[in-house]
Structure 1
Amino acid sequence: MKDFKNDFMLAPGCYLLNHSVGRPLKSAEQSFKQQFFTPWQDSGVEPWGDWLGIIERFTQVLSTLFNAPASEFCPQVNLSSALTKLVMSVERLQQNDAVVLMSELDFPSMGFALKKALPNGCELRFIPAESDITDANVWDSYITSDVDMVFVSHAYSNTGQLSPIEKIVETAKAKGALSLIDIAQSAGVVPLDLNALQADFMIGSSVKWLCGGPGAAYLWVKGQHLASCQPKDVGWFSHENPFEFDIHDFRYHQSALKFWGGTPSIAPYAIASHSIEYFSRVGSIALRKHNQQLLDVITEELEDKVVSPREKSQRSGTIILDFADKQQQVLQTLKSANVSVDVRSLGMRVSPHIYNDEADIQGFLQLIKSI
């Protein structure tokens, strides 16, 4: 098997915080210089032609990774902004009696954005946190006939759970509801085929398993919805022809770029497109297999400490461990050995990537056994 450690910038110790920020590729800095700085520094003409090519590359690598047309992807600053723009563009969600369903386990920022983007009188309905969101029957019971859109996280950051998105989307369609998938915690480490899934919308980022840094989020809108979506937060790059410069004539871009807005940020997408291209070659299936094998090793050794799902169909790329009254001692021991993990409400989060190997995991386990 290829030694992926050689491809990434890895500090001394063991980095298992990939649910938070993935490590950069060694080639990222040179690639960024070539894409972003070289057209700016080495040419006497404005670099916008080259810079916009970076955005084209970004949507194309997303197309390859998620199996959907590049024209259905639009760069976004972050997921909250993408969600706000989307909700405000869908006529059905701008009715005063619209109902959106989500889980109390979703990332709080998503709830904040939805509450502000939906008109007064709309209902943001929650599946209680104690419900098993890995169970399709739970979702079926909450997706009632009055629900206009179901917001579902593919993976849940604080619980290590994986939701049954295929069945959720199927149920939503059967009951006449739209579906929006949040893949912030799953992009790259859990395979996703948008063409096969047939969800309506998707939002995601590049900072975690895709190792692309912050600022390179994205919005995906299924082609059949593009014509009907009417974004309110627009700018000259939302225009069908940004360089027409007629202040009296605005026409939406025919692609998902209608959600883009004003003068765009370029640098984050130069870094992210290079990284996503790399992981497209590795393949989400291979990354998922490697990640799950390492999680199996941890589960076998620390079975009574695992509080996240054990079944692969319900398990994300993250395992949650609870050491009860020894939690702080374990954390301090790991920190002293430069082993990077973190803690949330249920316990310690551990997320091995393609550049982690079994030796990393055995070292991690030995430190814990020493306590």
Structure 2
Amino acid sequence: MTATSDHADTDGSGYLLYHSIGQYPGKAKDMAKALTAFADCWGASNDEQWGYALGQRQRFIELWSQLLKAPSASLTTTENVTSALAAMIMALPSDELEGRVVLVAGDCFPSLHFLLTGMSEQYGFELRTVPLREGANWVEDEDVISAWGPEVGLALLTWVSSTSSHRCDLASLMAHGRQQGSVIGVDITQAAGLIDYDCLAVGADFAVSTSLKWMCGSPGGGILQVMPDVIARCRPGLRGWFSQDNIFSWDINAFSYAPDIRRFDNGTPSVMACAASVPALEWHARQDWSTQLETNRALCDVIIAAADEAGFELASPRDPAERGGSVMMKLPDSIDPQTVLEDLRSRSVFADARGSLLRCSPGFITTPGGVDRLAEALVAISRGAA
């Protein structure tokens, strides 16, 4: 089923992909300007390249640290959330993982589960995956707690699921985990930049994220934030000249780790993703986040009502307090998800599907008109299928 539309594909009013790539007004222009400035500096025949490049990386770190209210010198860059988690696994003392359990929920980001499955034998831990209940769309917090005993050396919590937008109750999970003596990490990817995350208030040992999605940055701009007391006992296996307090200490027999998060650095850091993402992070820093979240909630309500009218099963919590910024719904077997996406594109509405799961995330350039076009399409598709 298709429909004609007078809306240009670049309008943005029907953009619903913030669970994948975030957009903000003027992003393309800002990013082009930043990358042009980088190219001009990097291609100049002088000695100013590293000062500029590392300055862009430091600005990236500062903006992320401010956003997360992270302690000083506790946040560094990574390529993605998978490499950030791998760095933590490799850095923790062996007795915190060997012969113990690493706990994750069955609706964690699959890439992280792939990583942990592969590392479990090498690092001597048992991977315990808390399953979804039969017919459920997300893992219940109480099931995570039931599976979490003192044998758990590390627990990785998914703040917001990428397949349901379910938001876990970090406060209750953290309280239980502290009683068990576990190292606790939080994957904040699917909500960072939309919902407030305060490192000190949450009290997790580490957090991982990317600059994609609600942060509106570029690929390759991942972050690892580790609390200072945890940093002090970590010995990252992947290390290099940037892991030192003085990176220009080149005595090959006198390596020592930097006293802060820099010990998680290794060789010459990648800076392109930082330079490309800084404009988005600076835009974020200027926003009224209560207003942004309120707008998201109002648009999500419209999407949920449309799913109900169309008779599509809601795969996200109805209560906004238990939800991130996305709404997921299950399409009936009689409806081809790719046909739905083609119909939406014809209306300049952009979402995606994972199997029969339709994912819709209204964000900073999405308008009520764009969401209305989605709602009209869902109802029309449902009636056509019937």
Q: TM-score, normalised by structure 2?
A: 0.88
Distance across 2 between alignment mates of 1:62 and 1:98: 32
**After the TM superposition, which residues 85-96 of structure 1 pair with which residues of structure 2 at under 5 Å, given as runs?**
85-92=87-94, 95-96=97-98
> Superposition RMSD on alpha carbons, in Å?
2.1
The number of residue pairs the alignment matches comes to: 362
Partner residue of 1:310?
A: 318
Q: Secondary structure at the match of 1:148?
A: strand
User: Cα distance, 1:241 vs. partner?
Assistant: 0.8
Match of 2:49 among 47, 50, 71: 47
Q: Which amino acid aligns with 2:56?
A: I
Aligned residues of 2:341 and 2:350 also touching (Cα < 8 A): no
Aligned residues of 1:59 and 1:71 also touching (Cα < 8 A): no
Report which structure shows greater RCO (CA 8 Å, sep ≥6): 2
Are the structure 2 counterparts of residues 112 and 368 from structure 1 closer, same or farther at C-alpha, using a change threshold of 3 Å? closer
Match of 2:376 among 353, 366, 370: 366
Q: TM-score, normalised by structure 1?
A: 0.91
User: Cα distance, 1:42 vs. partner?
Assistant: 4.3
Are the structure 2 counterparts of residues 226 and 44 from structure 1 closer, same or farther at C-alpha, using a change threshold of 3 Å? same
Are the structure 2 counterparts of residues 93 and 365 from structure 1 closer, same or farther at C-alpha, using a change threshold of 3 Å? farther
Instruction: Kindly indicate whether residue 336 of structure 2 is the aligned counterpart of residue 334 of structure 1.
Output: no
* 1:205-238 residue CA offsets vs partner (Å, 9 max, x unmatched): 0011111010000100011111111001011111
Query: After TM superposition, what 4+ stretches of structure 1 lie above 6 angstroms from structure 2?
Result: none
Partner residue of 1:174?
A: 179
Partner residue of 2:101?
A: 99
* 1:146-205 residue CA offsets vs partner (Å, 9 max, x unmatched): 111111111111122111112211110122111100112111122111111111011100
Match of 1:349 among 349, 359, 362: 359
User: Bigger shift: 204-213 or 330-339?
Assistant: 330-339
Are the structure 2 counterparts of residues 93 and 267 from structure 1 closer, same or farther at C-alpha, using a change threshold of 3 Å? farther
Are the structure 2 counterparts of residues 128 and 136 from structure 1 closer, same or farther at C-alpha, using a change threshold of 3 Å? closer
* 1:288-331 residue CA offsets vs partner (Å, 9 max, x unmatched): 22211110111123224222111112111111122312344433
Aligned residues of 2:68 and 2:198 also touching (Cα < 8 A): yes
Gap runs ≥5 in structure 2: 1-8, 382-386
Matched-pair identity in %: 29
Q: Secondary structure at the match of 2:57?
A: helix
Q: Secondary structure at the match of 1:326?
A: coil
**After the TM superposition, which residues 1-371 of structure 1 pair with which residues of structure 2 at under 5 Å, given as runs?**
10-11=10-11, 14-23=14-23, 25=27, 26-34=29-37, 36-42=38-44, 44-92=46-94, 95-118=97-120, 119-130=122-133, 135-303=140-308, 304-305=311-312, 306-324=314-332, 325-328=334-337, 329-345=339-355, 347-371=357-381
User: Bigger shift: 165-174 or 111-120?
Assistant: 111-120
* 1:50-107 residue CA offsets vs partner (Å, 9 max, x unmatched): 1111121111101110111241001001111111111111115664302110011111
Q: Secondary structure at the match of 1:62?
A: helix
User: Bigger shift: 193-202 or 307-316?
Assistant: 307-316
Are the structure 2 counterparts of residues 46 and 247 from structure 1 closer, same or farther at C-alpha, using a change threshold of 3 Å? farther
Gap runs ≥5 in structure 1: 1-8
User: Bigger shift: 268-277 or 224-233?
Assistant: 268-277
